[in-house]
């Protein structure tokens, strides 16, 4: 059959594809079976010629051979979401003259984009986003006169935007194109004035997304000609000069982002842009000006971000009555006078942030439900100011509505998830990303309208989707709105290949009807491992590229760590006496502030700003060892040689003195060998810093991932587990008041020079107060993967939530896998491969290979039993920390270790980390995110 005659050419070309791709879908392509008759998944023929290759999300690997050029009748080519499919894109792709859809979203293609794509004159959709393409945008794209959608974002393209010059084509010729997505590349140069033409306005709906490149020069005034524009994102470039005054011709624009450039001149006049929902002009160098009049006239605004734009004068009261207003960020301006908020502000208002302005008075007409922040204004500088608005809110408001179903809480079994219709099924999961949403808060209405939009599409297109859940809404640094989307199959509890591929195609092909809120999205699915025919359900292979990157990073981090350890050893030699606590620790407590009196601290030392400045080399970049939402973390060396870690609150994120004091009092009461304690603090010159002992061996995660170069064998892991459990038990049972940690994870367990585990980072901790000693109801916080599902559902935080997280840590300790890796959840994974009738419960596949030889893993089964009890669905079925400590002590005795003897030697380093195969290592060296740090045991 492999002859080069007639239609068999197709046979040969398909065979070439089959040989090039090793994915599971392709393995169902059987030699000798009917290629066009439906036997080859993803191939559709018309008159015995292949017209469609759609293999979206099919885990293809390998490259795309030049043979692809043989399929000259091809109309659809969609290989999106095959992350291990890559290499260069061949010039022969330009032979597919009938192609209307070329979709390679989120694959691994690299090299330059072949200019032959410009030959594909019928192309309507061209999506090459989220690959590794380099080089320039081919000018030949200008010949794609039927193109509707052009997405090149999230690559490494460089050079400038090609425009036509009478000889060469250019992007300005794409008058039919309604979506230009060029963001997240390395593009540079000016935005050419000839790029924009009024003829573009003939068509409704334009989206220009150019953010996060390096464009320079000014915004051309021709932009004002494209009156059909609806979304403009020019933010995060290096644009300068004035914003063209004809910008207010763009009467259909609803999202306007120009933030983070170097724009100058007058603040743009947006009068008349009555469709505007989302305005972000923050961080530019506009001329000083008074509040523009459009602040009170744009009736569709949901979001106004003009942080740091040189605005002065009083805010008009009308601003707050705009009916859908959700978020106002006017930090770092010169707004003065009286803040006047009407008694009927927008019901959707969530936050008004006026930090660092000159507001001197506030007329409060009633209790408002939104967060008003006036920190660093005149009104809050007066001594004795205790109003709520003079403190930063402790809970950053989030996008809250999450879908809760009314199903009874019965576990569904490994990898199965409860659908909103109470069916257990294997969902198709992915990240749903909106690149320019029109709102900043997620209301029930927006949520419902999105669900309706998607479900009615699935229904009309007869896609096998029964229901969906939208979870974990968040915003990232680029102001994208992200959701986790779970789609549940209809009929069977599992999707088949055709189902997954057609759903993925619908997303990648931008098939959903847009509405005003959701006009530009990307969907990035996780691999779907549950096909009925694959027989490898749950098989999770580690990617080779990740491993290589991991060991390179690991190697360089090891060097840093060795230097740190060296410094530590040096200082041990000449170590003088222990420090003497300052006899007047509160002399520097700032009495003028709203701190509510001198704090009651046990043994914590007060540092001056000057002392800490000196010992961190003026908080230099080289002494910085971490960063979090709270601020940066620095390493310092005190004059006596003692190493310390300093958590310095970012200016502007410093909390009120009262809260700082409360936190300090809580921390200073915590003293336990397995808990990181406090050395001291600094509350001087407007700074808020917490000082901890520097813990030399970093986080447990560093060691499990191979980054620290410390080899953890089974015995060491047992001792670490016991130490961490004892620390946590102390917080639960012996601390006064008892403390729920709320963020137990391997990043928050530190190892000292003898590998003694120390629980760190109380950034999210909750003390249990006298009236309520069993649980507190609180906004759900923590880290995905470690979070107790019961807490997530009920928002009731109990000690058993920490127990759940601890169970996940135990599983991580034996597998060295992140709790959620490539969308796979460690708890389910362990349960899935576990077979209690076999030796070591049949866990070989998931065990960390460097934990030791199989015959050295005595007690492992007991350990696994215990960890699975910790991650029981219902809190009341989980053991207490006290019981866990007992049980680990039993295991250690069983193994022949004495639980009460400390490791005697210093940690030995296991050589270079490339000896190990570690599946993850993307995090920073010191992931002390947002919380506190290492300890100092206070001399008794």
Ligand X SMILES: *[C@@H]1O[C@H](CO)[C@@H](O)[C@H](O)[C@H]1NC(C)=O
CB of 707 to ligand X, least distance (A): 42
Which residue among 227, 296, 423, 796 contacts ligand X (CB under 6 A)?
227
Give the binding-site size for ligand X (rule: CB under 6 A): 13
Residue 167 is classified by DSSP as S
Which residue among 4, 166, 204, 736 contacts ligand X (CB under 6 A)?
204
CB of 254 to ligand X, least distance (A): 10
Given the complex with ligand X, which of 336 and 502 has the nearer CB atom?
A: 336
Q: Mind spelling out the 3-state secondary structure of 212-279?
A: CCEEECCCCHHHHHCCCEEEEECCCCCCEEECCHHHHHCCCCCEEECCCCEEECCCCCCCCCCCCCEE
Beta-carbon-side half-sphere exposure of residue 153 (alpha carbons within 13 Å)? 20
Residue 63 binding ligand X, by CB under 6 A: no
Residue 194 binding ligand X, by CB under 6 A: no
Q: Are 502 and 442 in contact (CB under 8 A)?
A: no
Annotated catalytic residue, options 151, 743, 788, 802 = 743
Given the complex with ligand X, which of 204 and 940 has the nearer CB atom?
A: 204
Q: Are 242 and 221 in contact (CB under 8 A)?
A: no
Which residues from 684-713 bind ligand X, rule CB under 6 A? none
Q: Chain-centre distance of CA 9, in angstroms?
A: 47
Spell out the residues 6+ positions from residue 869 whose beta carbon is closer than 8 angstroms to its own: 807, 877, 878, 879
Could you tell me which stretch among 180-188, 330-338, 414-422, 806-814 binds ligand X (CB under 6 A)? 330-338
What gap in Å lies between CA 544 and CA 283, rounded to an integer? 41
Residue 313 binding ligand X, by CB under 6 A: yes
What gap in Å lies between CA 489 and CA 495, rounded to an integer? 6
Q: Are 133 and 156 in contact (CB under 8 A)?
A: yes
Could you tell me which stretch among 334-342, 496-504, 637-645, 673-681 binds ligand X (CB under 6 A)? 334-342
Given the complex with ligand X, which of 315 and 341 has the nearer CB atom?
A: 315
Spell out the residues 6+ positions from residue 510 whose beta carbon is closer than 8 angstroms to its own: 125, 127, 149, 179
H or E element that contains 10: helix 8-20
Given the complex with ligand X, which of 192 and 224 has the nearer CB atom?
A: 224
What gap in Å lies between CA 67 and CA 9, rounded to an integer? 10
Residue 208 is classified by DSSP as E
Spell out the residues 6+ positions from residue 317 whose beta carbon is closer than 8 angstroms to its own: 340, 341, 342
> What are the φ and ψ backbone dihedral angles of 134, each rounded to 5 degrees?
-125, 180
CB of 66 to ligand X, least distance (A): 42
Q: What is the DSSP string of 742-785?
A: S--SGGGEEE-TT--EEE---TT-EEPPTT--S-EE----S-TT
Pair of tokens at residue 880? 């207490």
First vs last C-alpha separation in the chain: 86
Pair of tokens at residue 394? 């402790």
CB of 178 to ligand X, least distance (A): 11
Which residues from 101-130 bind ligand X, rule CB under 6 A? none
Residue 336 binding ligand X, by CB under 6 A: yes
Which residue among 103, 201, 284, 446 contacts ligand X (CB under 6 A)?
201
Q: Are 241 and 263 in contact (CB under 8 A)?
A: yes
The neighbouring-strand residues paired with 109 are 87
CB of 347 to ligand X, least distance (A): 8
Residue 337 binding ligand X, by CB under 6 A: yes
Given the complex with ligand X, which of 313 and 789 has the nearer CB atom?
A: 313
Active-site residue 376, yes or no? no
Given the complex with ligand X, which of 443 and 509 has the nearer CB atom?
A: 443
Which residues from 417-446 bind ligand X, rule CB under 6 A? 444
CB of 274 to ligand X, least distance (A): 11
CB of 123 to ligand X, least distance (A): 24
CB of 436 to ligand X, least distance (A): 17
Given the complex with ligand X, which of 103 and 201 has the nearer CB atom?
A: 201
Could you tell me which stretch among 106-114, 331-339, 666-674, 806-814 binds ligand X (CB under 6 A)? 331-339
From the list 397, 407, 315, 395, the residue with the least C-alpha distance to 363 is: 315
Which residue among 56, 177, 237, 252 contacts ligand X (CB under 6 A)?
252
User: Each residue of 412-431: b (16+ CB within 10 Å) or e?
Assistant: bebbbbbbbeebbbbbbbbb
CB of 252 to ligand X, least distance (A): 4
Given the complex with ligand X, which of 149 and 804 has the nearer CB atom?
A: 149
What gap in Å lies between CA 488 and CA 451, rounded to an integer? 13
Burial class (CB in 10 A: 0-12, 13-18, 19+), 491: exposed
268 to 297: interface string for ligand X, x by CB under 6 A: ----------------------x-------
CB of 196 to ligand X, least distance (A): 14
CB of 228 to ligand X, least distance (A): 3
Given the complex with ligand X, which of 382 and 610 has the nearer CB atom?
A: 382
Please indicate if the annotation marks 651 as binding a ligand.
yes
Residue number, nearest CB to ligand X: 312
Given the complex with ligand X, which of 300 and 502 has the nearer CB atom?
A: 300
Q: What is the DSSP string of 78-106?
A: E-TT-TEEEEEPPGGGGG-TT-SEEE-TT
Which residue among 72, 134, 188, 228 contacts ligand X (CB under 6 A)?
228
Given the complex with ligand X, which of 13 and 273 has the nearer CB atom?
A: 273
What gap in Å lies between CA 653 and CA 14, rounded to an integer? 59
Pair of tokens at residue 24? 């599971």
444 to 483: interface string for ligand X, x by CB under 6 A: x---------------------------------------
Q: Mind spelling out the 3-state secondary structure of 393-446?
A: CCCCCCCCCCCCCCCCCCCCCCCCEECCCCCEECCEEEEEEECCCCCCCCCHHH
Could you tell me which stretch among 332-340, 547-555, 684-692, 874-882 binds ligand X (CB under 6 A)? 332-340
CB of 250 to ligand X, least distance (A): 9
What gap in Å lies between CA 350 and CA 441, rounded to an integer? 7
Q: Are 706 and 549 in contact (CB under 8 A)?
A: no
Which residue among 401, 641, 652, 738 contacts ligand X (CB under 6 A)?
401
Give one word for 314, left, alpha or beta, with left for phi > 0 and alpha for psi -120 to 50: beta
Pair of tokens at residue 6? 């007639």
Given the complex with ligand X, which of 312 and 316 has the nearer CB atom?
A: 312
Q: Which residues of the chain form contacts with ligand X (CB under 6 A)?
A: 201, 204, 227-228, 252, 290, 312-313, 334, 336-337, 401, 444
The catalytic residue positions are: 743
Extract the annotated binding site.
651
Residues contributing to the annotated binding site for ATP: 651
């Amino acid at each position: 059959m492999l002859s080069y005659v007639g239609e068999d050419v197709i046979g040969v070309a398909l065979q070439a594809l089959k040989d090039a791709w090793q994915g599971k879908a392709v393995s169902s392509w059987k030699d000798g079976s009917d290629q066009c008759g439906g036997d080859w998944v993803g191939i559709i023929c018309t008159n015995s010629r292949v017209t469609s290759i759609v293999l979206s999300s099919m885990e293809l690997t390998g490259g795309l051979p030049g043979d692809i050029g043989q399929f000259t009748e091809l109309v659809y080519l969609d290989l999106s979401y095959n992350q291990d499919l890559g290499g260069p894109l061949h010039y022969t792709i330009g032979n597919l003259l009938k192609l209307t859809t070329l979709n390679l979203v989120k694959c691994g293609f690299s090299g330059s984009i072949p200019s032959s794509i410009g030959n594909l004159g019928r192309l309507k959709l061209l999506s090459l986003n989220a690959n590794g393409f380099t080089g320039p945008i081919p000018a030949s794209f200008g010949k794609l006169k039927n193109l509707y959608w052009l997405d090149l974002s999230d690559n490494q393209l460089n050079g400038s935007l090609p425009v036509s010059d009478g000889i060469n084509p250019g992007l300005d010729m794409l008058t039919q194109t309604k979506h230009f997505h060029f963001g997240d590349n390395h593009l540079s140069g000016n935005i050419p004035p000839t790029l924009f033409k009024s003829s573009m306005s003939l068509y409704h709906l334009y989206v220009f997304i150019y953010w996060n490149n390096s464009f320079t020069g000014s915004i051309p005034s021709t932009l004002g000609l494209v009156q059909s524009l609806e979304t403009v994102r020019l933010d995060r470039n290096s644009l300068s000069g004035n914003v063209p005054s004809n910008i207010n011709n763009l009467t259909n624009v609803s999202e306007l982002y120009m933030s983070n450039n170097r724009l100058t001149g007058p603040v743009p006049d947006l009068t008349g842009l009555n469709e505007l929902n989302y305005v972000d002009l923050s961080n530019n160098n506009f001329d000083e000006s008074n509040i523009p009049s459009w602040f009170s006239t744009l009736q569709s605004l949901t979001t106004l971000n003009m942080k740091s734009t040189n605005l002065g004068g009083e805010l008009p009261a009308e601003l707050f009555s705009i009916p859908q207003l959700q978020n106002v960020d006017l930090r770092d301006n010169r707004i003065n006078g009286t803040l006047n908020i009407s008694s009927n502000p927008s019901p959707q208002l969530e936050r008004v942030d006026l930090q660092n302005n000159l507001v001197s008075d506030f007329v409060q007409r009633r209790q408002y439900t939104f967060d008003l922040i006036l920190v660093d204004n005149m009104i809050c500088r007066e001594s004795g100011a205790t109003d709520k608005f003079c403190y930063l809110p402790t809970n950053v408001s989030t996008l809250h509505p999450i879908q809760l179903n009314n199903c009874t809480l019965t576990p569904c079994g490994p990898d199965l998830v409860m659908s909103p219709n109470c069916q257990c099924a294997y969902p198709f999961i992915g990240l749903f990303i909106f690149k320019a949403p029109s709102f900043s808060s997620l209301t029930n209405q927006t949520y419902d309208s999105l669900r309706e939009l998607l479900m009615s599409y699935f229904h009309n297109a007869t896609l096998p989707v029964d229901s969906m859940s939208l979870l974990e809404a968040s915003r990232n640094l680029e102001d994208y709105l992200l959701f986790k989307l779970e789609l549940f199959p209809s009929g069977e509890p599992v999707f088949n290949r055709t189902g997954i591929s057609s759903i993925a195609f619908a997303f990648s092909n931008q098939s959903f009807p847009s509405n005003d809120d959701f006009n530009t999205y990307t969907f990035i699915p996780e691999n779907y491992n549950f096909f009925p025919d694959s027989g490898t359900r749950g098989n999770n292979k580690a990617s080779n590229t990740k491993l290589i990157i991991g060991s390179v990073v690991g190697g360089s981090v090891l060097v840093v760590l060795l230097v740190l350890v060296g410094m530590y050893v040096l200082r041990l030699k000449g170590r003088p006496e222990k420090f003497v606590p300052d006899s007047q620790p509160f002399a520097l407590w700032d009495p003028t502030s709203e701190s509510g009196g001198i704090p009651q601290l046990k043994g914590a030392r007060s540092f001056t700003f000057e002392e800490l400045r000196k010992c961190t080399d003026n908080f230099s970049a080289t002494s910085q060892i971490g960063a979090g939402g709270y601020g940066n973390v620095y390493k310092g060396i005190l004059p006596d040689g003692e190493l310390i870690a300093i958590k310095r609150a970012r200016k502007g994120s410093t909390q009120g003195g009262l809260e700082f004091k409360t936190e300090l009092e809580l921390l200073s009461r915590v003293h336990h060998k397995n808990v990181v304690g406090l050395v001291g603090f600094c509350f001087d010159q407007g700074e808020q810093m917490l000082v901890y002992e520097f813990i030399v061996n970093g986080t447990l995660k560093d060691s499990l991932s191979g980054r620290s170069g410390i080899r953890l064998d089974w015995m060491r892991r047992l001792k670490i587990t016991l130490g961490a459990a004892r620390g946590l038990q102390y917080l639960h049972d012996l601390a006064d008041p008892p403390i729920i940690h709320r963020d137990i994870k391997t990043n928050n367990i530190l190892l000292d020079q003898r590998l003694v585990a120390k629980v760190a980072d109380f950034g999210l901790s909750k003390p249990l107060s006298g009236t309520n000693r069993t649980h507190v109801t609180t906004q759900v916080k923590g880290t995905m993967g470690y979070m107790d599902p019961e807490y997530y559902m009920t928002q009731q935080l109990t000690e058993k939530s920490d127990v759940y997280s601890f169970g996940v840590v135990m599983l991580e300790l034996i597998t060295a896998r992140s709790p959620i890796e490539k969308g796979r959840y460690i708890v389910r994974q362990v349960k899935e491969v576990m077979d209690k009738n076999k030796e070591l419960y049949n866990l070989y596949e998931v065990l960390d290979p460097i934990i030791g030889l199989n015959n050295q893993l005595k007690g492992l089964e007991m350990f696994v039993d215990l960890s699975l009890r910790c991650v029981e669905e219902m809190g009341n079925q989980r053991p207490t920390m006290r019981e866990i400590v007992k049980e680990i002590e039993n295991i250690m005795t069983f193994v022949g270790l004495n639980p009460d003897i400390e490791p005697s030697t210093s940690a030995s380093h296991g050589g270079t980390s490339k000896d190990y195969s570690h599946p993850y290592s993307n995090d920073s060296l010191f992931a002390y995110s947002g919380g506190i740090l290492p300890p100092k045991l206070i001399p008794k």
